[in-house]
Amino acid sequence: MASKKSRKVISVEIKREIIRRSECGVKQCDLVKEFGLSKTTICTILTNKDAIKSAKIAKGVSKLFHEKHRSSIHEEMERLLAIWIKDRQVKGDVTTQDIICHKAKRIYEDLKKNVPGSSSNQANEEEFKASRGWFFRFKKRCGIHSVTMHGEAGSADKKEAEKFSINFQKCIKDEGYCPQQVFNADETGLFWKRMPSRTFITKEEKKLPGHKAMKDRLTLMFSSNASGDLKIKPLLVYHSENPRIFKKNNVIKSKLPVHWKSNQKAWVTQVIFNEWILEIFAPAVKKFLLEKELPLKALLILDNAPAHPKDLEEILQENYPFIKVQYLPPNTTSIIQPMDQQVIANFKKLYTRALFNKVFEECEFGGDNMTVRKFWKEKFDVLMAIRLIQKAWEEVSQRTLSSAWKMLVPSWTQEEAVVDDTEVVKDIITVAQRLELEVEEEDVEELIEEHEEELTTEELQALLVQQQDNAQREASSDDEEQQSNNQPIPSADIKNILVKWKAVQEFTNAHYPDSAEANRINDLYSDTLVRYFRQMLEKRGKQTTLDRFFMKPSAKKQKMDEDVQDLVDST
């Protein structure tokens, strides 16, 4: 019996390219020769072009397996799952096959509940099992590499934490560091416009289509020394580079009490982290040590989050060689990371208190019959949130910052190393009652925990919509800014740099010894710098120039073919 001919799987991108070429006037016979496919295959692709063009797939997906059998719920689930995995990677959380499969099933079930009539069709619809086969196909489609294949995410490693603490204390003694010379930095998420779940504001917000809480998320990076007498200007990463309130108030971002940066997901990337280190952290440390007449030497403690580069000492070498860096062992941050020892939790309670006091102040003395609802809807914006962040960070006490090092260097903590937030919580409840809001101590604790909890399906959907909206808005504002400066970047230069970036990616993926690390860094770079230029080029591709408008039909067609091919080759 003759062996069966293996079925060739054609990637979605190739199918879309065939469709694009056909729509530009390329004949089917020429497509057969160009792509090395049969005429029947080309005809089938063109017949199903509407479905192929409209297919919404997760970023990085190159193939659609069993396309006829994959429902829209499957596609939506995988897009949201890809966002969730990237969020965990940015936070430095361990992600295993079991964890991914479990989350996939939860997202799938949540999506099914929201589909009209899904309950009546459940009997006829095949159940999603998140099988081993699905997992490996999903990995291939989404280009996921850095996933632990077996076992469960490791809990806090106490033995490693104790070992590091002993070695760290020896290092401090041998190198002669004092508490004023030793620093820690750590990032955290903040839902700056979120209130306890039982307040009517939160209840009303959750009834809105899409539930906008995810759009109110930003990331903060805090840092201080072990003595608590130097607080570094915080890094703040938001999803918008120029919010409307900034334009309305002519805000100069360099004069804000935070180092303002932005990207689509409001996450700290290596590029953003390096900039903060070189422009904010290092100069502040140098100035402080000189003013205190201390030896020009410093030590920075970091966890292993992807945004923290392993070659940070090399980056600092040119201008700040006196700063050394040590990294905490994996799965030990909850035990010995200083900023995680009540500092960040204390900040969030202080922020909540400042927020409630601001609401009360506006409602009591703001005039115009100001109510909580009106304030929340019309007056509370990210600029006001920045002022509250500044106030809360200033109120974090030196004792709180110093006591955070009790697990790493117990000798540096002279008094009882316990942070008591009781009075702060009582203040929040008192002001809430005066505002006639339903808040108790448990609600405040729950709110603080919500800032760090896992993203829900609802929040992932909102984040996906936000990413799409921001990409469109940022692309438009970028072009407007270029035009206002009268210095547009030539499209040829953009295409050239994209081609070079593709070559860099291929080279590093092929030769860098840690393929997972190479893929992660390439993804971070692609999501920030490269995305900016690719969107600019794509937007220009959609605009009809006057030259093309006045071209003869044959010349116009030829020009379209050349432009499409150039765009495809470059991206």
List the one residue out of 386, 415, 411 whose CA is nearest residue 398. Answer: 415
Q: Considering the entire predicted model, what is its pTM?
A: 0.60
The residue among 17, 36, 55 that closes a domain is: 55
In a domain, 168, yes or no: yes
- Mark whether 295 and 313 lie in a shared domain: yes
- Phi and psi (nearest 5°) for 96? -115, 170
- Mark whether 43 and 192 lie in a shared domain: no
In a domain, 475, yes or no: no
- Mark whether 364 and 429 lie in a shared domain: yes
In a domain, 413, yes or no: yes
- Mark whether 239 and 330 lie in a shared domain: yes
- Mark whether 233 and 323 lie in a shared domain: yes
The C-alpha atoms of residue 81 and residue 39 are separated, in whole angstroms, by 37
- Mark whether 78 and 208 lie in a shared domain: no
**Long-range residue pairs from 404-408, CB within 8 A, at least 24 positions apart, any chain:** 404/184, 404/338, 404/339, 404/341, 404/342, 404/343, 405/179, 405/182, 405/184, 405/226, 405/338, 405/341, 406/341, 407/161, 407/165, 407/335, 407/336, 407/341, 408/165, 408/168, 408/169, 408/301, 408/336, 408/338
The C-alpha atoms of residue 567 and residue 571 are separated, in whole angstroms, by 6
- Phi and psi (nearest 5°) for 29? -65, -35
Q: 3-state class of 88 per DSSP?
A: helix
User: What is the residue whose two structure tokens read 């903040």?
Assistant: 190
- Mark whether 295 and 187 lie in a shared domain: yes
The C-alpha atoms of residue 498 and residue 569 are separated, in whole angstroms, by 9
- Write the CATH number for 320: 3.30.420.10
- Mark whether 196 and 289 lie in a shared domain: yes
DSSP codes, 457-499:
HHHHHHHHHHHHHHHHHHHHHHHHHHHHTT-PPPHHHHHHHHH
In a domain, 125, yes or no: no
Q: 3-state class of 272 per DSSP?
A: helix
Find all residues with CB under 8 Å of 400, minimum gap 6, and list them: 228, 342, 343, 346, 419
Ranges of H-type helices in 24-96: 28-35, 39-47, 49-54, 72-91
In a domain, 379, yes or no: yes
- Mark whether 42 and 76 lie in a shared domain: no
In a domain, 466, yes or no: no
User: Rounded to the nearest 10 degrees, what angle do helices 457-484 and 72-91 cross at?
Assistant: 80
pLDDT tens for the 571 residues of the chain, in order = 444 455 566 777 788 889 888 888 888 888 888 888 888 888 888 888 777 776 655 444 444 444 445 677 888 888 888 888 876 665 556 677 788 888 888 888 888 887 665 544 444 445 788 887 788 778 777 766 555 443 333 455 788 889 999 999 999 999 999 999 999 999 988 988 887 766 666 655 555 444 454 457 899 999 999 999 999 999 999 988 999 899 999 999 999 999 999 987 788 888 899 999 999 999 999 999 999 999 999 999 998 887 888 889 999 999 999 999 999 988 788 888 999 888 998 999 999 999 989 988 888 876 777 888 888 888 889 999 999 999 999 999 999 999 999 989 988 876 555 567 888 988 988 988 888 887 888 788 877 776 555 566 766 776 666 555 545 554 555 555 545 455 678 888 888 888 888 888 888 878 888 766 777 677 667 766 777 787 777 766 655 343 444 444 445 455 555 554 555 454 4
Contact between 464 and 229 under an 8 Å Cβ cutoff? The reply is no
- Mark whether 304 and 170 lie in a shared domain: yes
Name the residue range of residue 339's domain. Answer: 158-450
The residue among 428, 450, 472 that closes a domain is: 450
Contact between 217 and 389 under an 8 Å Cβ cutoff? The reply is no
Which tokens is 221 given? Answer: 């990076």
- Mark whether 40 and 105 lie in a shared domain: no
- Write the CATH number for 50: 1.10.10
In a domain, 277, yes or no: yes
- Mark whether 32 and 91 lie in a shared domain: no
Counted domains in the chain: 4
In a domain, 2, yes or no: no
Contact between 407 and 417 under an 8 Å Cβ cutoff? The reply is no
